[in-house]
């Protein structure tokens, strides 16, 4: 389950989420495609209180969607992928927390390329996340994604571990 993708979907399609964003942040952020996420990001990543308001709107809706999705699954285990799971109180929803770690400069480059934003915008987002050492201390496993170590073998090893523990 991709929590960030679900959050984006909710901001563009869910009438309750869109109405709550309109109420808290004003009608100028709402268009035909739902919430203007870039304009919203400009607000919330510069204002911790605004980010808390947004998270209070989106995170409960994402948790509900995850719960519905999880009930329909029959696999031996499920994966909940979320950028800020540790920060958002989502740890209680999972049996294990895996953290993907990468050097800061590489993360910044990746987000700039993915989202088409400048470095300052990426750093503003990162400022609202736990420091790497704190996040990794909470983790049951840390996967290193630094372009030197292969990521897939690390994932497969954890997959095998999860399969064995579910038998």
pLDDT tens, residue by residue, 55-104 = 999 999 999 999 999 999 999 999 999 988 888 877 888 999 999 999 99
Res 73: pLDDT: 95
Please tell me whether residues 16 and 79 are part of one structural domain.
no
Please tell me whether residues 79 and 51 are part of one structural domain.
no
Look at residues 44, 74, 104 and tell me which one is the last residue of a structural domain. Answer: 74
Please tell me whether residues 69 and 43 are part of one structural domain.
yes
Please tell me whether residues 95 and 128 are part of one structural domain.
yes
User: What is the number of structural domains in the chain?
Assistant: 2
Task: Inform me whether the pLDDT recorded for 142 exceeds 90.
Answer: yes
Supply the pTM of this predicted model. 0.86
Please tell me whether residues 64 and 80 are part of one structural domain.
no
Residues 59 and 149: their CA atoms lie apart, in Å, by: 32
Please tell me whether residues 82 and 150 are part of one structural domain.
yes
Using pLDDT thresholds of 50, 70 and 90, give the confidence band for residue 122. very high
Res 88: pLDDT: 82
Please tell me whether residues 163 and 100 are part of one structural domain.
yes
Q: Find where tokens 């480059």 sit.
A: 109
Res 90: pLDDT: 79
Mean pLDDT of the 125-137 span: 92
Task: Inform me whether the pLDDT recorded for 107 exceeds 90.
Answer: yes
Residues 151 and 117: their CA atoms lie apart, in Å, by: 25
Please tell me whether residues 62 and 137 are part of one structural domain.
no
Please tell me whether residues 59 and 101 are part of one structural domain.
no
Contact, 62 vs 6, CB < 8 A?
yes
Residues 159 and 157: their CA atoms lie apart, in Å, by: 5
Q: Find where tokens 């983790």 sit.
A: 139
Res 93: pLDDT: 82
Mean pLDDT of the 106-117 span: 95
Contact, 85 vs 91, CB < 8 A?
yes
More confident residue, 166 or 162: 162
Residues of the domain holding 57: 1-74
Using pLDDT thresholds of 50, 70 and 90, give the confidence band for residue 155. very high
Please tell me whether residues 65 and 85 are part of one structural domain.
no
- For residue 3, which phi and psi values (nearest 5 degrees)? -65, -40
Please tell me whether residues 166 and 88 are part of one structural domain.
yes
């Amino acid at each position: 389950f991709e929590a960030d993708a679900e959050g984006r979907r909710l901001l563009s399609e869910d009438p309750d989420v869109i109405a709550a964003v309109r109420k808290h942040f004003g009608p100028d952020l709402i268009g035909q495609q739902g919430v203007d996420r870039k304009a919203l990001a400009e607000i919330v990543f510069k204002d911790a209180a605004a980010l808390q308001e947004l998270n209070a709107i989106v995170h409960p809706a994402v948790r509900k969607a995850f719960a519905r999705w999880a009930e329909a699954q029959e696999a031996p285990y499920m994966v909940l992928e979320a950028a800020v799971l540790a920060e958002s109180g989502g740890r209680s929803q999972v049996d294990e927390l895996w953290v993907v770690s990468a050097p800061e400069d590489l993360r910044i480059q990746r987000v700039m390329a993915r989202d088409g934003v400048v470095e300052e915008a990426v750093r503003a987002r990162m400022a609202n996340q736990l420091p790497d050492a704190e996040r990794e201390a909470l983790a049951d496993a840390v996967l290193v994604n630094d372009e030197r170590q292969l990521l897939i073998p690390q994932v497969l090893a954890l997959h095998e571990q999860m399969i064995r523990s579910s038998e």
